[in-house]
Structure 1
Amino acid sequence: MAEGDFYSGKRVVVTGAAGTVGSRLIRRLLQHPIAELRALDNHENGLFRLSEELKEERRFHPFMCDIRSPAEINSLLKGMDYCFHTAALKHVPSSERAPFETVQTNIMGVQNLIQSALANGLQRVLLTSSDKAVNPTNVMGTTKLMGERLITAANATLHLTSSTVLTSTRFGNVLGSAGSFVPLFCGQIARGGPVTLTDRSMTRFVMTLDESVRLVLKSIELACGGEVFVTKMPVVRISDVAEELVELVAPLYGRNPAKIEIREIGPRPGEKMFEELTSDEELRRTVELDELFAVIPAFRNIYDRIEYAYPPNGTKGATRTYNSANEPVMTRPAIRKLLLEPDVLPPEVSALVAVKSERGVA
C-alpha cells in the first residue's frame, strides 16, 4: 500500500510533539492527506513555537497534555485512528537521578496510552524506543524496555476485545536531536576545547532526523502487532566524529584545529562501549527486511492469530545480532558528508558553513 493511501483521511495523534523527532514527524505527516493531526505535549514553550510555525495549517490541533494523566489521554484519543508515541524521558544521567519520575513517564505513561487507545478503538499505535532498551544497564533503558514489553503484551492479552495493532521501533542516535553528541562537541570546539570523549574506541549507531522519521512511518505501516522494529543504521567511531568536527568547525570560529585538544575522560556509569539494537536471545525470532529488522514476540502461541509476514522479503531469518561492534564503521569522508546533511549540525554552525560555502572557501 502506498504511504499516501495508508494515511489518507486518517486522524493522527503525536505525543511528545514539541520534541525533535515528534515535531519533524508532524511536519512529515502533514505532507500526506490526513484528516486531522493532534499534537500532544506538556512542554508549553515548545508547543507554542510549533503552533506558531503551523498556525496556517487547519488540520493541526495542539493540546497541552501530560502522558501521565489517563483522563487527558483518553479524552484526546477519542475519534482518532493512529498514534505515534514519542513522549519520554530520554536522558540517561537525569533518569538515574530521578528514577521515580522516569518510571511514571516511560512506563506508566505507556500504559495510560495503551489503555486509552484500546478504549477508543484506535487502529494503530507505535512506540518509539531506544537501543538502550537492549540489555539495559541504566534506568532509562530499563524503562524503555518495559514500555516495549507493555506494547507487545497488549496485542496478546487484549486481542479478544480489540483489533488495535500496537508496535514499537528502536533506533540509535538521531544526529541533531536534543541529546545528540554533535551539538555538544560543536559547543566545546567553539569555546576552544577540550572536546571530551569517554573512550576513543566507543562506537555508536547514527542516523539523520529525516531518516528516523521515514522509518518510523514505514514501521507503523508494516506492523502486524506486538513486534519490535529495529532500524538499520550506519556506525561511527565517536573519536572519528570528534576529529572530523574539529577539522570542520574550528576554522568557522577562527580557531586552529591543531590547537583543539580531544581529551579522553573515561566511560560514565552504565555507559556501553558499543550499542546493541538486538540481543542474543532475540536473534532466533528476528526477521531481516530491507531497511529494518523485526523482532517477533517471544510467546508465539499467544500470537497464533497473527501471521508475521513482511513484504517484499516475507520472513527471512536474521543471521546475526545487530550491534555497533559487529558492523563496519563509516570512513572519515562519509562522516563529513553525513555531518553536512540538513539538521545534523546546530543551526548556528550550519549558518557559518553556508557563509563559508558562499564565499567559496575550501
Structure 2
Amino acid sequence: MLKNSTILVTGGTGSFGHAFIPMTLAKYNPKKIIVLSRDEMKQWEMAKLFSNDQRIRFFIGDVRDKDRLYRALDGVDFVVHAAATKIVPTAEYNPFECIKTNINGAMNLIDACIDQGVKRVVALSTDKASSPVNLYGATKLASDKLFVASNSSYALGHNTSFSVVRYGNVMGSRGSVIPYFMSIRDSGVLPITDPRMTRFMITLEQGVELVWHAFEDMVGGEIYVKKIPSMTVVDIAKAVAPSAKHEIIGIRPGEKLHEQMISSEDSHFTYEYPEHYKILPQINDWGNDAKRIKDGKRVPEDFIYASDTNTEWMSEQSLKSWVNAHHDTIGKI
C-alpha cells in the first residue's frame, strides 16, 4: 500500500520518525516522505542522515498551525501523526500548552487531511490514554476520540480513514528510563519510584511494524494495541546496572503505578488477534462491523490489558542482551 506513495510524518524528527523513515524507505520505497516538525536543529541533524536520498523532504511547521498543515499535506497519500507534548510532569505544569498541541493540533490535522484528500491517517497514542490519571493521558484520550469519530463526522461524508495505534514507553528512546539509568549507573545508586511499578516493553521497530499493519488493515476508527511483554522497574534497573543500589523516591506527579492499554470498559468492543488487539469504535455500531472485526475473537468480559496482569514477561537477561545489542543508539533519538 505504501509503495510509491507520498507519506507525511508529524513530529517526524522524534524517536518514532528516526525508526519509521529508514525502515519504510527500505521496505516500501515510497515516492516521498515529508518530515514535519517545529525543531529546525533536529531537522538539520536528521537531514545529514539522508543527505543523498531525494525521497526525503523536510518541512518546518507545527500542528497548531492549520494553514501550514494545509501546505504540507498537498499531494500527500498517508499520514502518521506522531507529534505530541508527552512528558507527564511537563504537561501537568503546562496544561494549556499540552492541550494546544495534543487536542487542538489533532483537530487541525483532521480537518486538513480531509480537505486535502489524504487517504489514510494513523495517529500514535499511548497507554496513558486508557483510564487516564494525568493531563497528558487525558489529552491523548481526547485525541483518540477525535480521530475515531472523524471517520463519520462530516455531513457530506469524505474519503479519509483515521485509525489509532496505542503502545507504551519505547525501550531506549530519549527520555525513557533505560537511557536514564545508563547515564547515572556509575554513581552506584539508581532512583526507583516504587518497587511494585511495572511497565510494558516495546521496541521502536515493533511500533513501526504496528503502524504498517494499521495502514494495511484499517477500515477506520480502530485502535490497535500490540501484544508486548512487561517488566518491573526493579528488574529493569537490575538489567542495566546489576551492582547498583536502589533508592526509593516515590511516584512523580501524574504517574501511574502500572500501565494500562485496554480498560474493562473497552473490553466489550475489543477483539484479539495473534499479535495484537483491536479496540473497535462504540459509535455507529462499528463495534459489530464484520469488515472491522475480520478474523478477530472477542476478548472476555471485563478483560483488562495492563502491565501488572500481563501474561508475558521479559527477563532481565533478555533486556541485558537487548541493551548490549543497541548500546550505541540508546537515548540518542
Q: Does 1:318 align with 2:302?
A: no
Q: Does 1:170 align with 2:173?
A: no
What secondary structure is seen at the aligned counterpart in 1 of 2:164? strand
- State the one-letter code of the partner of 2:275: E
Q: Deviations over 1:175-221 (max 9, x none)?
A: 1111210011111113x132000111111001111121111211222
What secondary structure is seen at the aligned counterpart in 2 of 1:308? helix
- State the one-letter code of the partner of 2:230: V
Residue pairs, 1:17-28, within 5 angstroms: 17-28=12-23
Deviation at 1:159, TM superposition (A): 7.4
Q: Deviations over 1:293-319 (max 9, x none)?
A: 110001233788882134xxx131123
Q: Identify the residue that residue 217 of structure 1 maps to in structure 2.
A: 212
Residue pairs, 1:146-225, within 5 angstroms: 146-158=142-154, 160-190=156-186, 192-225=187-220
Q: Identify the residue that residue 352 of structure 1 maps to in structure 2.
A: none
Residue pairs, 1:90-109, within 5 angstroms: 90-109=86-105
Contact 2:135 2:254 survives alignment (8 Å): no
Gaps of 5+ in 2: none
Distance verdict in 2 for CA 1:159–1:184, change over 3 Å? farther
Contact 1:194 1:262 survives alignment (8 Å): yes
What secondary structure is seen at the aligned counterpart in 2 of 1:157? coil
What secondary structure is seen at the aligned counterpart in 2 of 1:215? helix
Distance verdict in 2 for CA 1:62–1:229, change over 3 Å? same
Residue pairs, 1:66-145, within 5 angstroms: 66-145=62-141
Q: Does 1:245 align with 2:240?
A: yes
What secondary structure is seen at the aligned counterpart in 2 of 1:110? helix
RMSD: 1.9
Aligned length: 328
Gaps of 5+ in 1: 1-5, 248-256, 349-362
What secondary structure is seen at the aligned counterpart in 1 of 2:293? coil
Contact 2:147 2:164 survives alignment (8 Å): yes
Structure 2 length normalisation: TM-score? 0.94
Deviation at 1:160, TM superposition (A): 4.1
CA distance in 1, matches of 2:331, 2:325: 12
What secondary structure is seen at the aligned counterpart in 1 of 2:247? strand
Q: Which among 321, 327, 332 is matched to residue 337 of structure 1? A: 321
Q: Which among 226, 234, 255 is matched to residue 221 of structure 2? A: 226
What secondary structure is seen at the aligned counterpart in 1 of 2:196? coil
Contact 2:8 2:79 survives alignment (8 Å): yes
Q: Identify the residue that residue 3 of structure 1 maps to in structure 2.
A: none
Contact 1:86 1:128 survives alignment (8 Å): yes
- State the one-letter code of the partner of 2:304: T
Residue pairs, 1:340-359, within 5 angstroms: 340-342=324-326, 346=330
CA distance in 2, matches of 1:41, 1:216: 19
Distance verdict in 2 for CA 1:176–1:146, change over 3 Å? same
Contact 2:172 2:331 survives alignment (8 Å): no
Q: Identify the residue that residue 275 of structure 2 maps to in structure 1.
A: 291
Deviation at 1:54, TM superposition (A): 0.6
Structure 1 length normalisation: TM-score? 0.86
